[in-house]
Amino acid sequence: MTPDGLIIRDAVAADLPAVRALLVETWHDTYDGIYGWQRVAEITNAWHSLENLSAQLDREDEAFLVAQVGEEIIATSSARRERDRAALLTRLYVLPIYQGVGIGRTLLQVTLAHFPQAPVARLEVELQNEPAIAFYERMGFFLQRSARFDGREDTPNTLMMAKRLFAD
């Protein structure tokens, strides 16, 4: 059951320090056992810097959302429209203490609703992140193929997953 007072809204510049802290915490909670603390710190410092997060605000054909309870930002998501009109989910993270109560499901639904013309949603998930894979399967996503994130050798092994959103 999602917490009372849950608000999902577009991220703004003032949210970015809290979003970065959320991403650092969830990445360490999720990936330290896979990559080690140091590598996770390197990734979060590169991918989730305030500069990188700021560049993601207010982009056309993209959604960058936060979920909050009271004044606390407890989850974030982002997605973008691809050339083939697909919605590519690029981020969905919920603080560990709030996981398992429906926030991820609700945030995913709101994020994908930003792309009403998308025939399909796609995402990449780390091959060893079994809880996330199970979550996305419960949300109706299926395995398409294995890959390297962004096709680069220095990035995590990933699974490409997809979900049909509507019939053409």
Q: Residue 95 is part of which domain span? A: 6-164
Q: Is the pLDDT of residue 84 over 80?
A: yes
Does residue 17 sit within a domain?
yes
Let me know: does 63 contact 111? Beta carbons within 8 Å: yes
Measured CA to CA, the distance from residue 20 to residue 12 in angstroms comes to 13
Does residue 91 sit within a domain?
yes
Does residue 148 sit within a domain?
yes
Q: What is the pTM of this model?
A: 0.89
What is residue 39's predicted lDDT score, i.e. its pLDDT?
Answer: 92
Does residue 96 sit within a domain?
yes
SS3 10: strand
What is residue 145's predicted lDDT score, i.e. its pLDDT?
Answer: 66
What CATH number did the domain enclosing 101 receive?
Answer: 3.40.630.30
Does residue 1 sit within a domain?
no
Does residue 23 sit within a domain?
yes
Q: Tell me how many domains the chain contains.
A: 1
SS3 103: helix
